[in-house]
Amino acid sequence: METIFSTLKINLFDAHLIQQHLLPWYDKNRRVLPWRALPGHKPNVYHVWLSEIMLQQTTVPTVIPYFLNFIRLWPTVHALSEASLDDILHAWQGLGYYARARNLFKCAQEIATLYKGDFPSSESTLLTLPGIGPYTAAAIAAIAFEKNTSPLDGNIERVLSRVYAIDTPLPTSKSLLKNLARHHTPFQRLGDYAQALMDLGSLVCTPKNPTCFVCPLKDFCRAFQKGKAEIYPLKEEASLKPTRTLDAFWIESKSGALLLEKRPHKGLLGGLVMVPIPYLNKNEENLFFKEEALPLKGVVSHTFTHFHLKVRVLKSFIERDNLSLLENQFWCPLAKISEQALPTLMKKIMRHVL
């Protein structure tokens, strides 16, 4: 680390300068967020944890209404631990990355049972809990408990990459940036400092069109001095996502019900409710509807983390409601579909059909 820091000509004075300029800026410009404690108030650990899980790969404006709904439905970690997973998935629908919701439930249960509702304060112990990775553990420890940890999210990576004009592209530079984050962590106001870096990256040091002239760090930001702030952080060329094409079956009964399936809890769209998509089930069982189904015009497009999806929707009507169904299949009245835990893909299919 010393060799890298000497190459970049980084010293303790740089860290002190950043702290000296950043915290006063934060005191004047901090975002008011529903999970963030007001100045002088102790953070609510449950709120910090819940927000950090929701903010994984999701923007603040998207998260706010979900967060408010969750704390209305389940105001404490004990209340969340006693909920049903189906109810949690239903409240989560539209937020995406549903493994987060399943891990949220598991984590709440562990906190309630193993820790009697009190979140552990150490970064290492937080890392043992479901759904909590290195960034989330460091963020909770710093923000909720004022621990000497160094959370590193996309905003903080961008700020540090620009301040020091890091020429090593991400993700290769992550270890260097982590060391830089540790090097810059102050001894006081650790939670405020972490949130100040996040706010600076979100409000000023943005991915595109950063407003460098109002940045509190501009006088010693190397990327700004080069006039090249927007090119940082450098990133390795991403590989193209493959595209898959699947068939989905919209099967209505004579009584006005739709055939639905509850997905297995493990795997893609785990625990959520969909129309039958045989390929996702990896079996061809019980396709009594396949021969009579006719394709609708057009396709439904959707993107998952690792691939794009094109879905052809086939529709048919079944005369009988008393057909033998698989254990995870059921008929749902069309008027009550919205009561199910539906992923965004299912909502797109509904719009395509209806």
Residues with catalytic function = 52
Report the b/e string of 107-143 with b at 16+ CB within 10 A: bbbebbeeeeeebbeebeebeebbbbeebbbbbbbbb
- The 3-state secondary structure of 115-176, one letter per residue: CCCCCCCCHHHHCCCCCCCHHHHHHHHHHHHCCCCCCCCHHHHHHHHHHCCCCCCECCCHHH
Paired strand residues for 339? none
Rounded Cα distance between 152 and 181, Å, is: 7
Rounded Cα distance between 149 and 191, Å, is: 9
Report the b/e string of 312-349 with b at 16+ CB within 10 A: ebbbbebeeeeeeeeeeeebeeeeebeebbbbebbebb
| Token pair of 300 as six digits | 């439904």
Q: For strand 329-333 and strand 300-303, is the pairing parallel, antiparallel, or unpaired?
A: unpaired
Residue 351, Cβ density class (10 Å: 0-12 exposed, 13-18 middle, ≥19 buried): exposed
Rounded Cα distance between 101 and 130, Å, is: 10
> Please, what is the end-to-end C-alpha distance for the chain in angstroms?
59
Rounded Cα distance between 121 and 138, Å, is: 10
Rounded Cα distance between 158 and 155, Å, is: 5
